A and B are shown apart, each in its own frame.
Chain A
Amino acid sequence: MSGLAADLATILSSGIRLTAPLAFAACGEYLAERAGTLNVSVEAMMLGAAFGSIAVAGLTGSATAGLLAGVLLGALVGLVHGALSHRWHVNTFVVGLVLNALVLGLTSYLVTVGELGRHQVAQVSVPVLRDLPVLGAPLFVERWPVYLLLALVPLTWWLVERSRWGLELRAAGENPEAADMTGIRVNLRRRQALLWCGALAGLGGAYLAVGEVGSFNQNMTAGRGYLVMAAVIFGGWRLGRTLAGCAVFGLADALRLALPALGYTVNSQLLVSAPYLLALLAMLLFTTRERRPGALGQPFRRTS
């Protein structure tokens, strides 16, 4: 019994650690998509931030400074993406793909040039609560950036669903022509959404590097950005469900790592493809068109 409880705690704990970077980025992607940008460059935002956070932590000697640099780098990718696709009207998929390729190439290049070393932010363990059976260690002993989710998730939800800015964002994503008619600056709102998305995806990538792993490896995000896109679709453009999707993906990842060690044999290819299969199935089964932002992925240009 205690063996099972320990196994559960291990899987849950690694599940949360693998979910957290997805959850940060998913908050950002959710907001960007509600504003109408089908943002493929999350991968670039996360990977660039992961590299930048370790590099800056090495330069300054502070892992927290590295984390901050990751956020800024993610936002920079968002700024470039926004400028190219919503100011200069380059196809947004093209921009996203090229940014992914560029950041992957740049970070792979730079990581071989110099020694980056190990840098990690502090672990926080909440007294008393950490001693709870099964849930204690997974939930209350974490690298501290995880707890930022407690503030950022409600903030993102409030921004999109309750603030005036969010109303304008959603209008830009739903019906840009009508939004424009009422005086909303559609492309400005979309660029702002991409900035927020970049900062949050950057936080996710930086958390992965200076939080969990403590170092940078070539292509260390390994498609997590695409999983985040899948999570938003999986969640039908609702924040709660999107985060639930992230948790499913994170747990699937944790199971893939844990099951062989615990002596279970499950086909590893099936476990790796599970998130993608689930996302495809979710898209097929649920009538996503209801909640899908009406102008998702479509550029807006004033015709006057």
Chain B
Amino acid sequence: MTRTGPWVSAAIVAAAVLLSGLLIAVTGGSPAAALRALVQGSLGDATAVSQTLLYAAPLLLVAAGTCCSARSGAFNIGQEGQVLVGALAGAAAGLRLAVPGPVLPLVVLAAAALAAGTWAWLSALMHRFRGVDIAVSTLLMTFLAQQAVAFAVTTPWLLQESRLGAAAALPQSNKLPPGALLGSLGDHPGLQLNLGLGVALVVTLLVAVALGRTRWGFRLTMAGLNPAAARHAGIPVTAVGGIALAVSGALAGMAGAVLLSSPLGTNRLQPDISINIGWDGLLVALIARNRPLLTIPVAGLFAVLRAGGSFLAATGVPPYLVDVVKALLTLAFVAPAVLRRQPVVA
């Protein structure tokens, strides 16, 4: 971002918006109405803003974690699966563990982080011992995570919903008890935030400090930029990368627990609980070029698109438009950096 002035960024966003508007116009919609719906649905009133912030929290967690792994040179693309594993472990902890009240949400969060961190670390192990490509293994393991969640919520002795006279309905778990969920920040009318956003912001700041100001962050970045030189300097490159990958997985797992607690969902484990937050969080980190503090505004932008996207349908524009916009934005931000020969992913 160093040489990309704000003007370049603004021009890029404008180009993506123009292209999207063109797409709407060509397909017979009204770009102005769509833009109005996007803004109204994401920033229009307290409810809209709280929706946006609720989406921003898990996005931010995934993106902050991605900064760690990408900077270490481990290209994690399995965040979507790691979010799911986190949600799975979090739900299991929340439903099955008898822990006294106020500690339980923390246990849920920790279980999610631990499980997803271990899950991601498996890829690091496969890389370490068998030379398996990290990008490929994290990707393949996403599909396993999806099936693991589906298995858990359709298996009675695991997490399948227990109910009397059950007619087969949606595969899902029982509702988590309120005591297991991250607390709500007051009960203002229309505004329903929970502690998830606070957790996400604190974690992002911690990641920024850790990467920018600590020995660990320096070793990690060096291992990513030039593994040979780092190894020469005595840095255990493989181990450092493995831990960065585990941290990335753990933060994605925390995003899964946050989704579980979020008023966005049903407070149950469901196969689609991750709502593509893992994929989007990866795009957020790409746009922010793996700088943790930059992920905050970018995650905000993606959250605006998500919250506003659900209001597009009323204008006759298919909500999938926001997926196009997100991809165009990513492409637009990633390509020019490289044109000037800056490393995008270390």
Which A residues contact B (CB, under 8 angstroms)?
38, 40, 84, 88-91, 93-94, 97-98, 101-102, 104-106, 108-110, 112-114, 223, 226, 229-230, 233, 267, 269-270, 272-273, 276-277, 279-280, 283-284, 287-289, 292, 296-297
Contacts and interface: CB of A to CB of B under 8 A. Distances in A.
B131 to A, nearest CB: 5
A272 B345 contact: no
A114 B326 CA distance: 22
A113 B318 contact: yes
A288 B327 CA distance: 33
Contacts of A84: 335
16 contacts: A38-B133, A84-B335, A88-B338, A101-B283, A101-B323, A105-B321, A105-B326, A113-B318, A229-B136, A267-B151, A269-B147, A269-B151, A277-B144, A280-B126, A283-B136, A297-B135
B335 A93 contact: no
> Which of B130, B150, B325 lies at the interface centre, i.e. has the most chain A CB atoms within 10 A of its CB?
B130
B147 A272 contact: yes
B140 A226 contact: yes
Contacts of A267: 151
A280 B137 CA distance: 7
B197 interface: no
Contacts of B27: 109-110, 113-114
Contacts of A283: 126, 130, 132, 136-137
B136 A97 contact: no
Given A98-B330, A112-B318, A276-B144, A90 B132 contact: no
Contacts of B140: 226, 230, 276, 279-280
A273 B144 contact: yes
Interface string B128-149: 0011110111011101100110
Given A272-B147, A283-B130, A94 B286 contact: yes
B126 A284 contact: yes
A108 B318 contact: yes
Given A105-B324, A108-B323, A284-B132, A97 B77 contact: yes
Interface of B: 23, 27-28, 75, 77, 126, 130-133, 135-137, 139-141, 143-144, 147-148, 150-151, 154, 279, 282-283, 286, 318, 320-328, 330-331, 334-335, 338-339, 341, 344-345
B192 to A, nearest CB: 29
Contacts, number: 127
A112 B335 contact: no
A54 B339 CA distance: 36
Contact of A109 (B139, B282, B320): B320
B328 A226 contact: no
A260 to B, nearest CB: 14
> Which of A38, A223, A229, A269 lies at the interface centre, i.e. has the most chain B CB atoms within 10 A of its CB?
A269
A269 B154 CA distance: 10
Contacts of A272: 143, 147, 150
A102 B334 contact: no
Nearest to B29: A113
Nearest to A283: B132
A98 B334 contact: yes
Contact of B320 (A98, A112, A229, A270): A112
Q: Which 5 A-B pairs give the minimum distances between C-beta atoms? A: A105-B323, A102-B327, A108-B320, A105-B324, A112-B318
Nearest to B137: A280
Given A98-B331, A109-B23, A280-B137, A93 B283 contact: no
A188 to B, nearest CB: 19
B149 to A, nearest CB: 9
Contacts of A230: 136, 140
> Which of B75, B318, B339 lies at the interface centre, i.e. has the most chain A CB atoms within 10 A of its CB?
B318
Nearest to B140: A276
Contacts of A89: 338, 341
> Which of B77, B320, B338 lies at the interface centre, i.e. has the most chain A CB atoms within 10 A of its CB?
B320
B127 to A, nearest CB: 10
Contacts of A226: 139-140, 143
A38 B135 contact: yes
B324 to A, nearest CB: 4
